[in-house]
Amino acid sequence: MDKFVVRGGNPLLGTIKVSGAKNSALPCMAAAILTEDEVILENIPQVRDIETERKLLASMGAEVELGYGRAQHRTRIKCGILSDPIAKYEIVKTMRASSLVLGPLIARTGMARVAMPGGCAIGGRPIDLHIKGLESMGATVTYDHGYLEARADRLKGAHIVFDKITVTGTEDLLMAAVLADGETVFENCAREPEVTDLAALLTAMGAKIEGAGTSTIKVQGVTRLHGARHRINPDRIEAGTFLIAGAITGGDLNVDACEPKHLGALISKLEECGVKLDVGKDSIRVRSGSGPLKAADISTQEYPGFPTDMQAQYMALATQTEGTSIVTENIFENRFMHVGELNRMGADITVQGRTATVRGKSPLQSAAVMCSDLRASASLVLAALVADGETILDRVYHLDRGYEHFEDKLRGVGAQIRRMGEVFGKK
């Protein structure tokens, strides 16, 4: 199993480039199910979850070419015939976002059989809202042997109010609605940039969608979608992780090829801490300000609030700021698994329910630590970058699910980080 070895102490200097957003790429790849034509996606990150999605689509009979043509980050998908519209457990268990194929499969083939995602390290993560929405659109849903089977000759437009804001739920049902008979109105939708990105692709494929990026989305169903070419948004969570890497190491880092408009909540919070940011059109330069960094509280919220996917990385920074920060996690229960490992490195964090109290200015020491999920892994790397000595991070496969060549990018700006074991995505 791969490990990272990180020696702390170097400020990060130079330019680091952001890849395409995994969380946009996953629904956009699923959207290719909706047409028998070719869909070409640019700026696809080379990360493990994308490879899993490739396998998932290929197992259903789709042609999927990652690294299409000469471009490493271009993907060609053609779902000419979907001979086997089943998302098998072996694939779904490694990536919960596999449930994103549910809506497009029923819309395209009238039938979907999808393994129920198991529990996930960061909470129960049910898909009841996806199912409820599909039932409102006329699908019949049954369960057997750990699989969910949904059928509908043609889905019907409906009025759906989400009980809770769900990102993949909004995306899944949006993909179902674009081929439904009549109008669908969704209320209390997720407003994340990944939803908007998916809607842009669907629109390029001929879908009629209004309001993506707001809490009400209206869709006029069409009978057929065609192929399209689409460029995936930059990854706002990867960009945010690099901003914190620059700030925590007291470096001078230019985070390039990002979309600053998607990073509003993080930018204001870092500025509140005293981090100096020069925000450009598609890049952000991060530098330490004149005085010491100060503590600031965060409370995770749906977009445009502070992203839950940045909570763990922010907590690593909070261990180094002056004063006490209160970190409240509102989206997922049990998303504090990095706390135990940060404390083993010398942090002073206590957790009560959904709130963590981080007492700052802790000198961090190297240790052998274990990654528990994708963003927790990134948090431990950030802590290791300022720890005294050599930290060994085990189970970095969690990190490989969503960060493209993380260690190479960080090494390119001066971090002392290397991988022990196979390097994912490299030939």
- Catalytic positions are 120
Applying the rule CB under 6 A, the residues between 67 and 126 that interact with ligand UD1 are 97, 123-126
Q: Contact between 407 and ligand UD1 (CB under 6 A)?
A: no
Prior bond to 292 cis, omega within 30? no
Q: What 3 state SS string does 156-193 have?
A: ECCEEECCCCCHHHHHHHHHHHCCCECEEEEECCCCCH
Q: What 3 state SS string does 100-152 have?
A: HHHHHHHHHHCEEEEECCCCECCECCCCHHHHHHHHHCCCEEEEECCEEEEEC
Cβ at position 36, least distance to ligand UD1 in Å: 25
Q: List C-alpha distances in Å: 99 to 35, 45, 404.
A: 18, 20, 23
Q: Contact between 23 and ligand UD1 (CB under 6 A)?
A: yes
Which one of 101-109, 127-135, 201-209, 349-357 is the stretch in contact with ligand UD1 (CB under 6 A)?
A: 127-135
Site track 224-263 with ligand UD1 (rule: CB under 6 A), x = hit? ----------------------------------------
Which one of 161-169, 281-289, 290-298, 357-365 is the stretch in contact with ligand UD1 (CB under 6 A)?
A: 161-169
User: What dihedral do alpha carbons 20, 26, 29, 33 form, nearest 10°?
Assistant: -160
Among 128, 187, 210, 278, binds ligand UD1 (CB under 6 A): 128
> Based on CB atoms, which residue is closest to ligand UD1, 4 or 306?
306
Q: Contact between 205 and ligand UD1 (CB under 6 A)?
A: no
> Based on CB atoms, which residue is closest to ligand UD1, 302 or 341?
302
Site track 290-329 with ligand UD1 (rule: CB under 6 A), x = hit? ------------------xx--------------------
Among 48, 54, 78, 130, binds ligand UD1 (CB under 6 A): 130
Cβ at position 333, least distance to ligand UD1 in Å: 7
Cβ at position 306, least distance to ligand UD1 in Å: 11
- 283: phi then psi, degrees, rounded to nearest 5: -155, 160
Applying the rule CB under 6 A, the residues between 175 and 204 that interact with ligand UD1 are 190, 194
Distance CA 181, CA 184 (A): 9
Sign of the CA dihedral running 125, 127, 128, 129: positive
Q: At what angle do helices 193-204 and 167-177 cross, to 10 degrees?
A: 20
Cβ at position 93, least distance to ligand UD1 in Å: 15
Distance CA 47, CA 120 (A): 19
- 136: phi then psi, degrees, rounded to nearest 5: -60, -25
Among 28, 92, 167, 217, binds ligand UD1 (CB under 6 A): 167
Cβ at position 127, least distance to ligand UD1 in Å: 5
Q: Contact between 376 and ligand UD1 (CB under 6 A)?
A: no
Among 71, 153, 164, 224, binds ligand UD1 (CB under 6 A): 164
Q: Contact between 331 and ligand UD1 (CB under 6 A)?
A: yes
> Based on CB atoms, which residue is closest to ligand UD1, 60 or 165?
165
Distance CA 222, CA 179 (A): 5
Distance CA 109, CA 143 (A): 19
> Based on CB atoms, which residue is closest to ligand UD1, 360 or 402?
402
Distance CA 269, CA 305 (A): 11
> Based on CB atoms, which residue is closest to ligand UD1, 134 or 415?
134
Among 6, 12, 25, 26, binds ligand UD1 (CB under 6 A): 26
Non-local (6+) Cβ contacts of 182 within 8 A are: 156, 157, 220, 221
Non-local (6+) Cβ contacts of 367 within 8 A are: 341, 344, 345, 387, 391, 392
Cβ at position 171, least distance to ligand UD1 in Å: 7
Q: Contact between 396 and ligand UD1 (CB under 6 A)?
A: no
Q: What 3 state SS string does 236-286 have?
A: HHHHHHHHHHHHHCCCEEEEECCCHHHHHHHHHHHHHHCEEEEECCCEEEE
Sites of contact with ligand UD1 (CB under 6 A): 23, 26, 97, 123-130, 164, 166-169, 190, 194, 308-309, 331-332
